Amino acid sequence: MTAPTELIHKLQIKSGAKLWLINVPRELVEELAAGAEVEIVHENDAYDGVVAFFESAAEVPLLVPRILKELPPDGLLWVGYRKGPEAKAAGLNRDTGWEALDAADWRPVRQVAITEEWSGLRFRPRNLVKAKDGSQFA
């Protein structure tokens, strides 16, 4: 087994994970596939996690139902969105554009810089997250 790549480490992807990748840039797909024992699967296969990249807020409500349909409740869900001016134009940032996930009772729990161009947010089901006192998510 090869050592995990930096991206796999950042995204907390465990060895043996089965991931459905959606709109992930080619160079990142290659990095994910080259790291620890990660299996890239298709939508109709069983998967433990999803890594989905979005170019606009309009894509989110279209893909969220498909993403959550077969994702295990404790499954790994990362969303990627552009940084900087492109993020503003897309209507996506850390706090904006994820209403479809909020409506499905998933909330953001971690943010990482994936590359200089992309940021990532990890979401988990609200009932699996212990909110800190005073948090808007409590």
Q: What is the pLDDT of residues 20-66, one digit of tens each?
A: 999 999 999 988 887 657 899 999 999 999 999 999 999 999 999 99
> Has this prediction a pTM greater than 0.85?
yes
As a whole number of angstroms, the distance between CA 1 and CA 124 comes to 29
Specify whether the CB–CB gap between 20 and 50 falls below 8 A. yes
More confident residue, 119 or 132: 119
pLDDT above 80 for 131:
no
3-state SS of the chain: helix, strand, coil percent to 5?
Answer: 30, 25, 45
Superfamily of domain 6-127: Vaccinia Virus protein VP39 (3.40.50.150)
